[in-house]
Amino acid sequence: MPEARFTVEVAGGVPVVATPEEIDINNAAQMRAALLEAAEHGDGTLVVDMSGTQFCDSAGLHVLVRAHMQAQAGGGELVLVLPGATVLRVFAITGIDRLIPNFPSLDQAVTQASAARPASSSPALADPEPSSSPSS
C-alpha cells in the first residue's frame, strides 16, 4: 500500500487538509500533524476534504473530534467534506455527523468555513481571555 499523504492547501483563504483513501491507526498521527499545520496557516477554521477517503477507523474519528473541539475552543470551526456514503455512514452511526458540520462538496465546505471564520486574525490557540484594564 502506498504511503498515505495528507496535503495542506488554502482555498478561499481557508486551510484545507486533503485526506488519503484510508485513515486508520497507522496514519492517524500524520493526520493530526497535518491538521495542526493547517491550523497554523489560518485563524482556527479549517476544512478536511475527505472526498478521496473510503475508510476511517476510530483512531481517525478521534483525531477529527479532538481537532473539532480545539478549533471551537479557539473560536474557529472544523468543517468536513463527506461526499461518499461509505465514510458518511460511519460518521452517522457514531453521531459525529451531528457534531462536526459536513458538506457534500469542497465548495460548500469552504463557503461555510469562510463564513464561520472569526472576525479577528488571532491564532486558534491565543488566550481566550478578553483584555481588561488592571484594577487598582
The enclosing H or E element of 15 equals strand 14-18
Contact at 8 Å (CB) between 43 and 8?
no
Q: Which neighbouring-strand residues pair with 22? A: 55
Amino acid at 30: Q
10 Å CB burial of residue 93 (0-12, 13-18, 19+) is: exposed
Q: Give the pLDDT confidence of 56-89 residue by residue, as tens digits.
A: 999 999 999 999 999 999 899 999 999 989 999 9
Whether the pLDDT of residue 49 is over 80: the answer is: yes
Q: What's the pTM? A: 0.83
Superfamily for the 7-116 domain: STAS domain (3.30.750.24)
Q: Domain segments of the chain: what residues?
A: 7-116
